Amino acid sequence: MEELIKKLGITLPGEYTRSNSYTVDIKSDAEWGKIYSLLETNDDVESLEDNTLLTIHNASLLYVYNDEYQLNLKADFDNETYSLVCSKIGGMN
């Protein structure tokens, strides 16, 4: 999953979690916006608009990469916390 994040042009470091996901902590809304743009313009990434939550307070934007990985771009705008969570569809690494 770390290789996928790099392949998508995301250079921020991340870490594996107990839930077999790879999480990238995003430092600012500007960085979050850059990652959003990278995901939206990548032909191999499909937005799952039916599963998207976007309000003035929060965002949870779901994407699928080649029907193999799910990417969840999250934001808590009030608390200024942002992340990208990558997990393999089916839960296996």
* Residue 18 pLDDT > 70: yes
Instruction: Read off the pTM.
Output: 0.90
Given this model, what pLDDT does residue 93 score?
47
* Residue 51 pLDDT > 90: no
- For residue 78, the surrounding DSSP H or E stretch is none
Report the C-alpha gap between 25 and 92 in whole angstroms.
Answer: 22
Rounded average pLDDT over 42-63: 92
Domain 2-88 fold is Double Stranded RNA Binding Domain (3.30.160)
Query: What b/e sequence results for 59-81 when a residue is b if at least 16 CB atoms lie within 10 Å of its CB, and e otherwise?
Result: bebbbbbeeebbbbbbbeeeeee
